[in-house]
A and B are shown apart, each in its own frame.
Chain A
Amino acid sequence: MSDVQFFGLSYEQVIEKYKKTVGAVCVMRLQNWADAEDCFQNTFFKLFRSAPDFNDENHLKAWLIRVAINECNKYIRKNRQHVHIEKVNDDSVDFPQDSVDMSWALMRLDKKYREVLYLHYCEDYEVKEIAEILKKSPNTVKTLLRRGRDKLKNLYGGESV
């Protein structure tokens, strides 16, 4: 591999460190392993080829998430796959209903709530950061978070998240 460095990290190290984040974004967005794999790899290919200058690691992480989302959107546009959640169950990531883990419920939400909830609860981003990554206003992000939580509550059975 080349000697390209991304804020002190080699390409391999970047993949190792952020593979779960990028992978989760792709899986959450596409809900299909095969499609998510393509977007996952394309995201890191783009990092390697463009090699942008990052201010810090948070910038690198946010950049990867943003590119992963864009890659997924591009993939969806290109393939026009309108996959319904009921049909995905056989081929999708299997998240068994768990009394504690809410991943399965998150995967059933609409994608606009999924992204916001995932970034907030899984990646621990603040509203302002989510707004920058998703290029939305903070108020929109707040609204999506509130509505997403309500939908999760409805899915789970009324208990608050």
Chain B
Amino acid sequence: MREFNFDKLKNLEIPDSWVDGALNVPSKREKSPIVFVSFTRSFASVAMLVLVCSLSLLLFFLADDNATPQIDQKVPTSETLVKSTESYDTNDSTENTEKELSTPFRRVKDFIYNLFVKPNQKPSSPTEKDKETLGSVQPSKPSEETRNEEVSSSTTLPSTSIETQSVATEPQEPTHQVKPTQAPTIEPTEKPDVKPTEVPTQPPTQKPTQKPTQEPTTGVENFPDEPFIIISSYPVSGWNSTTEVVYCRLYDASGNLVGDSDLYSSQHLAKIDSQDSKRVYVSYDPQARGLMIPVGEYSFCFYNLLGTVLVQGYIYIS
């Protein structure tokens, strides 16, 4: 048997140029003694991050400088929002969207403000009775007792109490209630001197959320015989205070604004009744502002000078 080997490969002649090349080891790349040069990218990234953050904060706090008196911008919660109509949504859709977007930021600002700014002097807190009456029917005239009695005596009295807001009607007109199926939270105890002149047209068994069968006739507007007041409340936070000016606007069923088109005219001026540690109680008397409100379905909205919607809801005046 012949023997085989790999001598050619084993004794491969390596050229001298290979060895010379291997001996000339290229010098290592020396590190720069300056730290900033070695970490240029890292420092640039960190610097950019800091710059962006600082600019964002700056813009965030400077953008609303004009809004310093009122930062709180509350989106109506389930507690305050009774019902929204299409017309209302159409009118305030953009505003609501902006509010929703800015709400988290405003809450942060409120939190910061609460940390550094002492809350304003709080007004005397309302009594328990006041708290209870909020969201219920309240007569706008001083003869409450007699009127309340009248209301309590009428079992067919529909009410508007939707948690926190309602429309107060005169007791002489038990049918002039906003929400026909919800009972008032306060039961009047005395009968009024004047008997109701109109027979209630709606049966007491009417289901909630249903409109009364009696609709205002077109062409001839029916006005409620007695004035009414829209009472509502909204939560206190941030810079809300009793010194703030509050307005209220009404939209009819077709979405038309009731009253002056200038939303900040005296016709829309509302009143802050009281405030406790949690809520601010506001009221709006359209008749006192020279507005004749015909019966029908309305949506109302309390807002401040900045246009911030404080509370909104839905009423039916009959």
Decide yes or no: A102 and B22 within 8 Å by CB, A27-B12, A37-B17, A49-B28 being known contacts: no
Tally of contact residues, A, Cβ under 8 A = 38
Do residues B18 and A100 form an inter-chain contact, with CB atoms below 8 A?
no
Chain A contact residues, CB within 8 Å of chain B = 1, 11-12, 15-16, 19-20, 23-24, 27-28, 33, 37, 40-41, 44-45, 48-49, 93, 95, 98-104, 106-107, 117-118, 121-122, 156, 159-161
Binds A, one of B3-11, B140-148, B260-268, B303-311: B3-11
- Can you give 12 contacting A-B residue pairs, CB < 8 Å? A1-B23, A16-B19, A20-B14, A28-B9, A95-B9, A100-B4, A103-B9, A106-B6, A118-B6, A118-B9, A122-B9, A159-B2
A147 to B141, CA, bound (A): 111
Closest 5 CB pairs of A and B: A103-B8, A103-B9, A44-B22, A23-B14, A122-B10
In this complex, the member of B4, B7, B11, B26 whose beta carbon has the largest number of chain A beta carbons within 10 angstroms is: B4
Which chain B residue has the least Cβ–Cβ distance from A44?
B22
In this complex, the member of B7, B25, B28 whose beta carbon has the largest number of chain A beta carbons within 10 angstroms is: B25
The residue that A37 contacts in the complex, of B10, B11, B21, with Cβ under 8 A, is B21
Do residues A15 and B23 form an inter-chain contact, with CB atoms below 8 A?
yes
Do residues A45 and B9 form an inter-chain contact, with CB atoms below 8 A?
no
Tally of contact residues, B, Cβ under 8 A = 23
Chain B contact residues, CB within 8 Å of chain A = 1-12, 14-15, 17-19, 21-23, 25-26, 28
Do residues B18 and A103 form an inter-chain contact, with CB atoms below 8 A?
no
A141 to B42, CA, bound (A): 48
The residue that B9 contacts in the complex, of A1, A24, A99, with Cβ under 8 A, is A24
Do residues A19 and B19 form an inter-chain contact, with CB atoms below 8 A?
yes
Q: Given the complex, which residues of B lie within 8 Å of A117, measured CB to CB?
A: 6
Which chain A residue has the least Cβ–Cβ distance from B9?
A103
The residue that B11 contacts in the complex, of A1, A20, A121, A159, with Cβ under 8 A, is A20
A146 to B15, CA, bound (A): 33
Question: A17: shortest Cβ distance to chain B, in Å?
Answer: 11
Q: Given the complex, which residues of B lie within 8 Å of A49, measured CB to CB?
A: 25, 28
A143 to B148, CA, bound (A): 106
